[in-house]
Every structure is written in structure tokens, then in C-alpha cells.
Structure 1
Amino acid sequence: MMQNALQMVAELMALSAKTAPKSLGQDYVEIKIVSGEDLNRLAEQMEQYGRKTGKVNFDRDAANVRQSAAVLLLALKENKPLGLNCGACGFSRCDELTSQEGPEFVGPLCAWRVIDLGIALGSAVKTASILNADNRVMYRAGVVARQMGLISGAIVVGVPIAAYSKNIYFDRPARS
């Protein structure tokens, strides 16, 4: 029963992300819910990535993903500048913004598109909170989900959700 409830929470989080306001009303946010075997594959790949790169806490976050009912993935599917020529990305004009693949994500990115992704993310986690589902915004889950091809986009963020007597995403030891 709890798994069904959490799947519904994930779907409602996706709805909140989808309907969140976006610049110029243009939707460049990609959304996917990962559960079941894909969830286990994501956790395994997170552990492997941490070992391969020597980056810390991928194993810790992988353990949380493995204990979760689902992970909501949000991605900026296309880095199409807004056209304001505001310079927030580091370029004077939007047509000068050229992105390239970095070690984990594409960058630089249009700041307004990243803000759109952040608003969608905030809307999703607000929904989880209202529905009493424990959640945690995870950069590491996004990195590996993108590398695995679970979702495509310039930048990806993962939000695992769970329901236990104690929130599993807190009191986690940071490793150095």
C-alpha cells in the first residue's frame, strides 16, 4: 500500500513541476519518474561512478536511492536562451551563449532556464512535503541518471521520495 501511495506522490510531484510557471510560458523542463529495477540500477551506477571518479558521497546517496520508493528526475532538456541579453550567463548577448559538455553537465546555461528548472523543482518538493513524503534534492542522482540515459538534458536533478518512521535523508554522514 505504501508503494502505491508514494507512486501517486511522485506523479503529483511531476504534475507540480509540469504546471510550475516558466519564462515566456515556454516549457524546457523534462520530467521522469524512476522506480523498480531502474531505481536499483541507478543506485548501482551511482556507487560505481563515485568509485571511478573518487568523488565523495555518491555511495551514501546511492544507499538513500536504494531505500526510496521512487526518484523524480527533472532536466533542462534544451538550453535555449530566453533572448533578454541580460548577461546573467556571462555573455553580453544571448546569441553569444555557446554551451559545451562539461565533466557532468552542459554549461554555461541561460540563467532564466535554470531558474525555470529551480521553480519546477521547488514546486515538486513542496508537493512532496504537503503530502508528508520525505524527499531530498540530489545532484548526484541527476549526474548518474543523465549518464545512464534515464533522462536527457543539459542539467539533471533527482528527488528521491520515501516514507519511514524517520526521514532517511537526514542525519547522513558527510564523507570527505
Structure 2
Amino acid sequence: MNAIEIVAELMSAAVSTAPKTRGLDYVETKIVRGEELGKLAQAVEDFPRTPRTAYFQNNAQDIRSCGTLLLVGLKSSPPNGLDCGACGFPDCKSMAKHGKVDGNFQGPVCMFRLLDMGIALGSAVKTASMHNIYNRIMYSAGVAARRMGLVDWDVAMGVPLAIGAKNIFFDRK
């Protein structure tokens, strides 16, 4: 196992131990490497081009250049029962009855579950940074992973990892 793969495992542990609402964990991880990583890069590149997704081409190249990618997402994330209304429904029961609508992601999703995922992503990228591994949170990788069936989660983000003299994820042309 090389340094990037070790750090990806540590990042996955950081996601698991990140604090979660009411102590309930619905955040999932998957480490992508090798041939699967190449297929993911192709899925990002093949995503329909619009002015809003033009950057996906750069992301596809970055994914091809990275050593490993960590996917972080929510598979099954029921409402937390606090009836806060942040999801757009008057209460959690209404949201649960609504059913899922599929798009780039599948929702509605409880805002607290998304906060849990965001905190977990922050813990993961902090772990990578502590080990001097370049990384970047990518919406495009999560959407492509869902579309190609790499994960069956409602929401996903990808975090590619790289080592080098320059950070490939922020040296954009």
C-alpha cells in the first residue's frame, strides 16, 4: 500500500469518527483506484456539457492524474425528527412521505444529514492535508459516480488525492 492509499484509509476513518447529528451515522465512503478510477474520470468527461459544467473537463483530467479518490456520501438518510423545515417541508413526516426525486443527486435530503456529510468531508480533507496529500472536493466526481452506478447513494462528493511538486488541483489553466 502506498502513501496515498494509506491516507485514503485514514480519511475514511476520519469520516467515520466525525460528529453526527444525534449520534446516527449515515455517511458512507468508498475508495476508488486503478481501473475504476479511469472509468470515473471518463464518466466525468462524458457528462453533458453546459456553461455550468464546463469545468468537468478539467476535473476529469485531474482525476486521471491522481493516485486515488475517496467518495463520501449519504446512502440512506432519513429525517432526524427535529421538524426544522430546512428541507422545505413543514415537518420530517411530510418529507419522508414525499418520496425521492432523482437528479444529479436524489432528494429531498435532511439538512442535518447534509451537515453531517459536510463535517465529515472537512475531517477527511483535513486528514489529507495533515499528511501533505493534495486534495480537492469535487461535485463532478460524486455526480459521475452516481450516474455510472459506482455508488447507490443519494448524494456523493469525490476527493481526489495526489502527491507532487505542484498541487494539480489548484494549478488550473
Report if TM-score (shorter chain) is over 0.5: yes
1:45 Cα deviation after fit = 1.2
- In structure 2, distance between residues paired with 1:163 and 1:28: 30
Cα separation, 1, equivalents of 2:106 and 2:77:
9
The equivalent residue for 1:116 is: 116
What TM-score do the two structures reach when normalised by structure 1? 0.92
5+ long unaligned stretches in structure 2 = none
Structure 1 distance, partners of 2:7, 2:34, is 15
What is the CA RMSD across the aligned residues, in angstroms? Answer: 1.4
| Runs (5+) with no aligned partner, structure 1 | none
3-state SS, counterpart of residue 49 of structure 1: coil
- Indicate if the aligned counterparts of 2:101 and 2:108 stay in contact, CA closer than 8 A: no
Q: How far apart, in 1, do the equivalents of 2:99 and 2:155 lie? A: 12
Letter in 2 for 1:28: Y
Q: Which amino acid aligns with 2:67?
A: A
- Output aligned runs, 1:11-90, within 5 Å: 11-51=9-49, 55-90=53-88
Distance 2:150 2:133 in 1: 23
- Corresponding pairs, count: 170
Deviation at residue 152 of structure 1 after TM alignment: 1.8
* Runs of 4+ off more than 6 Å: none
TM-score w.r.t. the length of structure 2 is 0.93
* Identical amino acids, percent of aligned pairs: 50
Per the alignment, in what secondary structure is the counterpart of residue 30 of structure 1? strand
Structure 2 residue aligned with 1:144: 144
Distance 2:76 2:54 in 1: 29
